[in-house]
Structure 1
Amino acid sequence: MEKIYESLKYLSDMELENFKKILQKALWSKGFRLVLRNQDETLERLKLAEVMEQLFDRQSLQVTMDILEEMKRPDLQKKLFDSSSASERQPFEHPERGEHVEKDSSEWTRVEPTITDVDEAPIYSFQSAAGQFECNVSGLRWVCEDKLCFKYQFCSWEGHMERMKTIGYRSAGPLINITVITGKIKEVYLPHWICIDDIPNLLESFSVLHINDSGDVLEKVSEVTATHVRLTDPVFSPLAAVISSIFRVKVTCNVLIYYQPHMPFLKLHVYLILHDPALQQSVHKEESSIGYEMIKKPRPDKYLRMQQGFTLKAAIETAKVQPKKLTLRYDSQDPNFYEVFIENPTRDFDLTLLCADSKKKEAKLHPVWTCEIRRDDHPKSGLVEAAASSGGATCLSSPNSKIFQTPKTRILPELRGEIDP
C-alpha cells in the first residue's frame, strides 16, 4: 500500500482522475465497480492505495504498473518496479465466473456457531474442516478445501442506504462483516431477502457491495439462487447483496412482537421489518431497554411487497390498534410499529396482517400473515397476574370480567332488616 501511495502522490489531480477511470474500466471487466467517496487530496490517494491493496493484495502492484503504463508515465512505473520484488509482480487475473447452477440444500452441512458478546452485537465463530457448510443462524454458506477458522457480525445498514440510492442500488440482504482467521474460503454464499421470480436478468441485477473507509466496491456475482448470491475467491470487508433499483420488489420479512409486563392490561408493540438480523437486534435492544419482553412467533411464509401499506387486526372485542396502516420501507433503521392495547385479555386471540391488492382500484384487504396470541405468551401481564398480586379473586368466564376484592361480610337483601346497622 505504501509503494502504491508513493506513486499516486506524484500524480496531478487530472492524472489522478485519469488513473481512477482506467482502474474503474479494469475493475468492471473483471467483475468489480469502484465508488470512491470524496476525500481531501492526500487522504484520497492514501485511501485509493488502501482499496487496491484490499482488492488485489500483492497483485495490486502489477495493476498499478499496468495503469501507469497506459497513462504513459514510465518514470513512475519504473520507480514502482524498482521498489517491488519479482515475487510480488503477478498478473492480475480473476477466476472464471461459475455457471448459474444451484446446489441442492442437502449438499450443505448445517453447523451451529459459537456466539460471544450476546448482549451487544453478537460475534458468530466457526471452525470447520474441508466441505460445504451453512450457518443455522444466518443461512450464510461457505465452501473450503482445508481447515478454516473465521468469524462474522451483522452490521447496521444505517448511513449506507442513502448512499446506495445515489448510485441506483438497494440493499438485498444483511450486511455482514466476515473475518477469516486461518485458512481460506473458496466460495461464499451471502443470504438475500429478494423474491427473484419477477426479475428477468438476475446476474445483471444483483451485485455484492464491499464497504470500507474510502469507498464502496460493487462486485459482480457468480450465481443467484432463490436465497443466496455466490462469490468465488472472495475478498472480505463488510459486504452484502445489493440489487439495482427495481420498484417495489417482494421480500422476506419478520414480524417482531413485544409486550409490556406487570400491567393489568395487555400492550403489544408489533414490528414489520425486512429479514435483517442487525435490524432485529437493534429493535430487540431498544424494546428490552424499556422493559418490554419478546413474544416469539413464526415470520410470514410468503414474500411481501416493498412500499406496500399493511393493516394489523386483533380478533378480540376490546383491542385498539394504532396506527391504522404502516408501509414496509427499505430505508427505515428506526422502524415504526403497531401498538395493540387490550384492556381485558381474558382469552386467546389472533393477530392478522392484511394488505390490499395494489393492481385493483377498489382492492379488498386480504391476510398475508396470522398468529395466535395465547395467554401463556404474556404470562407477566393481564388479569391473572393482576389478581394474584392483589390477593383477590378473578372471574375469567366473560370477556368483560373484572378484578374484585371478596368482601368480608355479604348482606343478603332478605336479612337486611335483622342486622343492626
Structure 2
Amino acid sequence: MTSSAQMAIQGREVDGGVRRADRRWSSLLADAVLAFVLLVFGYFGTRGAAENFPDAAPIGTPTYVLVAVAALALVVRRRWPLVTLALSTVAVTAYLVAGYPYGPILVSFFVAVYTVARHLPIRRAVLGCAPALALLLVHVFVSLREPVGFPGLLPGAAWVVVPFAVGATVRNNREAAARDRIEQARRLADDERLRIAQEVHDVVGHGLAAINMQAEIALHLLAKRPEQAETALTAISRTSREALDELRVTLSVVRRDAAVDRAPVPGLDQVAALTARLRQTGLTVTLEVTGERRPLPVAVDLAAYRVVQESLTNVLRHAGTAAATVRIGYLPADVTVEVVDTGHGGSGPAGPGDGHGLTGMRERIDALGGTLEVGPRPGGGFRVFARLPAEARG
C-alpha cells in the first residue's frame, strides 16, 4: 500500500474518531441538561407533592438527596444505562420505602427504564429491568408508613412495564428504519451496477464488433492490396481508441476519480459520427432525421443513442453485408428512433427480449416510460423501433 493511501486511510480514521467523540460529547451534554431539568423539577415538585399527600412522611434533606441521586444518574444514562438504572432503582425504592409522597422522582426512574430498553439488546434489557421491578415493588409490602398492599402491585409495575415497552418499541422502529435504509442503499447500488454493466456492454460490444469487421477487411486486403489494408488498420486504431475513451468515462463514474476528464454523455447529436465510423468498416448506413432538432433530457438522449448503437452493432454481428437505415424523428412530445436492415429475415438480433443487449435496451426504454418494438421485417431484414417521451428542457 502506498504512503498516500495509508495517509488517506489514517485521515478517514481520524475524522471518524473525531465525529464519534463529538457525538459522545453532544449526548453527554444533552443528558446533563435533562438531569438538571429533572433535578429542579424534582426539588419543587416534591415539595408540591408533600402538600397533596399529608399522610406521607415529612420531607427533608434525605428526601432531596434521593431525588438528586435519581436525577443526576441520568447524566451517564446512554454511556452506562444499567448503572443509571441501578442507582435510580435504589434511590426510588429507598424513597418509597421511607414513605415519602409519590412525586417527580418517579419520572427519573421512568427515563432510566426507557434508556435501558432503548439502548440495550432486548435480552440484556429484560435481565436488567426484572430486578428493578422486583426491588421497586418492595415498597408495596414494606414501608415505614402504612404499606399499600396488593392493590399497589399494578400501578407500581406500570412504572417499569410502560417505559420498557416504549423504549423497546422505539428501538425496534429505529432498527427497522436502519434496515430499510441499508436495503435501499443496496438496491441503489445494485441498480447502479446494472446501469454501469449496460453501459460497458454497449460500449465494448459496439467497439469490438466494429473492430472485428475492420480486422476481417484488413486481413482480406493484406495479401492482395496491402496499401489499402493500412486504411482498415487505421480505422481499427481509431475505433479502439474511441471505445477505450468512452469506456474510461463510464468507469470513472464508478471510481469517482476526479482526475479523469469526463467526456460529454453520448446523445443523438453523435449518431452522425457513429454512422460515419461504421461506413469505414464497409457497412452501408443511411441516416435520416425528421422534425426540428431540440435538446432532450440527458437520460432520454443517452437511451436513444444506445438504441441506435446496439442495433447497428447487431447488424455488424448478424446481418453480414446488409445495409442499414437509421431514422430519427423529433415529434412534439416524443422522439422516435428506428433502425432497419436489409438482412435475411431473422438475421438481426435473435428476437425480442433475447440477449443482454436487447434486454438492456428494453430496460432503458421501460424505465423512461417509452415503448420498444423489435422483430423481423415482413419484407426481410430486421427492425428496431423505439419511442421515448422527449419534452424539451426548460
Q: TM-score, normalised by structure 1?
A: 0.20
Taking CA–CA contacts closer than 8 Å with sequence separation of 6 or more, which of the two structures ends up with the larger relative contact order? Answer: 1
Determine which structure has more spread, i.e. the larger CA radius of gyration: 2
Larger relative helix fraction: 2
Larger relative strand fraction: 1
